[in-house]
């Protein structure tokens, strides 16, 4: 089909907002050039008029378990494809399929299945895997299954890495458990980003864990040792240690809006990684689904004891963050795009509107309603809105 040029867009690039902007996308789905109305239209290019819509980089969700009735742990292509289509309808263009704690054979099957379908989903692009558990602290397990929590071993970690086929990009573990620090080192040496989560680590232990390779925290403030004035815990470590990037479930349920603002004020958007932590029932009507109940956007275990993931979408997380912090769109976008790309080492090809990167982008109205979602230059969702 040749090249496509997008014109009359409000273009959100890495360094500035370009009014009446233009973007040229190659036939192979990468960005060739960006600029204003002076950027020439290539001969024979297809011209797409954005009619003033906002053209922003697509959102990258590095922590998502499922959606619309589909879940990663089902271990099927249909499940991965279903969740990819659902999240594409809400602004996600790439995601890491995220495991939950289960028996080891179920985890391995989920890893094999995800590894064999990287890059093959029809909606948001499956870009890799996030292993959450089973190496977690029982005290901070949240909704993770206590029966299948275990201590890490070097041989088992090697096996999981092999099963994942080089697609394991992020792992959540508790560094304080027996063998935890060695696991941090082993994963980090194999190029996997290591996140401290479902952890009761002390501040002092987190210093050691960071020195060995921990660079991320999982759903900050949730499932971790809280901040106390005599023991800052993992929550305090995330706030104070520059080498840690903090995940955030910005639904106003997992973290109070005032604490959302506090996190952004202390860390800056460049060190906050927004996620959904969405589970299989996300997007479905309120009701009971297996071991969880969905009610008014909240997902809880049936016994009401704890939150069990979320029903959040990335687009709603962005809207919430704008409301909770008062920050403008351009200040918050990195937390949805370039920060997650950096954290899971996708930043050479995704995370911003830059020449040479994949043309993963969204068209939004000025009210931040989604018009359409594009992955590698191809439309994977269209909402039916004609213009901004």
What pLDDT is recorded for position 2? 87
Q: How far apart are CA 161 and CA 157, in angstroms?
A: 6
Please tell me whether 222 is known to bind a ligand.
Answer: yes
What pLDDT is recorded for position 353? 98
Of the residues 137, 200, 277, 360, which is catalytic?
A: 277
CATH 2.30.40.10 for domain 4-56+352-382: yes
Tokens of 356: 């040479």
What pLDDT is recorded for position 305? 81
What pLDDT is recorded for position 304? 83
First-to-last alpha carbon distance for the chain, in angstroms, is 26
Q: Where are the domains of the chain?
A: 4-56+352-382, 59-343
What pLDDT is recorded for position 388? 42
Please tell me whether 45 is known to bind a ligand.
Answer: no
277 counts as catalytic: yes
What pLDDT is recorded for position 386? 57
Please tell me whether 44 is known to bind a ligand.
Answer: no
Please tell me whether 254 is known to bind a ligand.
Answer: yes
What pLDDT is recorded for position 185? 98
Is 101:148 a contact under the CB 8 Å cutoff?
Answer: yes
Mean pLDDT per 10-residue segment, the chain (388 residues) = 93 95 97 96 94 98 98 98 98 98 97 98 98 97 95 98 98 98 98 98 98 98 98 98 98 98 98 98 96 94 91 98 98 98 98 98 98 98 73
CATH level 3 topology of 59-343: TIM Barrel (3.20.20)
Please tell me whether 8 is known to bind a ligand.
Answer: no
Q: What is the pTM for the complete model shown?
A: 0.97
Please tell me whether 80 is known to bind a ligand.
Answer: no
Please tell me whether 219 is known to bind a ligand.
Answer: yes
For 349, counting Cβ atoms within 10 Å of its Cβ (0-12 exposed, 13-18 middle, 19+ buried), the class is middle
Please tell me whether 130 is known to bind a ligand.
Answer: no
What pLDDT is recorded for position 384? 78
């Amino acid at each position: 089909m040749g090249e496509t040029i997008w014109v009359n867009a409000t273009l959100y690039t890495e360094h500035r907002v370009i009014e009446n902007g233009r973007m040229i996308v190659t036939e192979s789905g990468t960005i060739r050039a960006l600029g204003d109305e002076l950027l020439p239209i290539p001969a024979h290019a297809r011209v797409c008029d954005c009619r003033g819509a906002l053209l922003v980089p697509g959102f990258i969700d590095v922590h998502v378990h499922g959606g619309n009735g589909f879940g990663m742990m089902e271990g099927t292509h249909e499940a991965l494809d279903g969740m990819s289509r659902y999240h594409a309808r809400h602004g996600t263009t790439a995601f890491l399929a995220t495991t939950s704690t289960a028996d080891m054979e179920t985890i391995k099957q989920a890893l094999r299945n995800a590894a064999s379908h990287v890059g093959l989903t029809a909606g948001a692009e499956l870009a890799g895997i996030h292993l959450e558990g089973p190496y977690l602290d029982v005290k901070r397990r949240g909704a993770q299954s206590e029966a299948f929590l275990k201590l890490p071993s070097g041989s088992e970690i090697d096996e999981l890495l092999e099963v994942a086929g080089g697609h394991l990009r992020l792992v959540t573990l508790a560094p304080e458990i027996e063998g935890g620090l060695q696991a941090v080192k082993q994963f980090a040496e194999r190029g996997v980003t290591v996140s401290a989560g479902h952890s009761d680590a002390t501040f002092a232990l987190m210093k050691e864990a960071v020195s060995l390779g921990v660079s991320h925290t999982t759903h900050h403030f949730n499932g971790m040792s809280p901040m106390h004035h005599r023991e800052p815990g993992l929550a305090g470590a995330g706030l104070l240690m520059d080498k840690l990037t903090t995940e955030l479930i910005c639904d106003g349920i997992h973290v109070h809006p005032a604490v959302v603002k506090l996190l952004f004020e202390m860390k800056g958007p460049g060190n906050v990684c927004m996620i959904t932590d969405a589970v299989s029932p996300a997007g479905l009507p309120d009701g009971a689904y297996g071991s969880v109940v969905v009610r008014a956007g909240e997902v809880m275990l049936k016994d009401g004891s704890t939150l069990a993931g979320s029903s959040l979408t990335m687009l709603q997380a962005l809207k919430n963050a704008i409301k909770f912090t008062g920050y403008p769109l351009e200040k918050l976008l990195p937390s949805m795009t370039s920060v997650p790309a950096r954290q899971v080492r996708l930043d050479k090809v995704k995370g911003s509107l830059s020449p040479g990167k994949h043309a993963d982008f969204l068209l939004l109205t000025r009210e931040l309603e989604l018009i359409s979602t594009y992955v590698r230059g191809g439309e994977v969702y269209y909402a039916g809105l004609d213009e901004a």
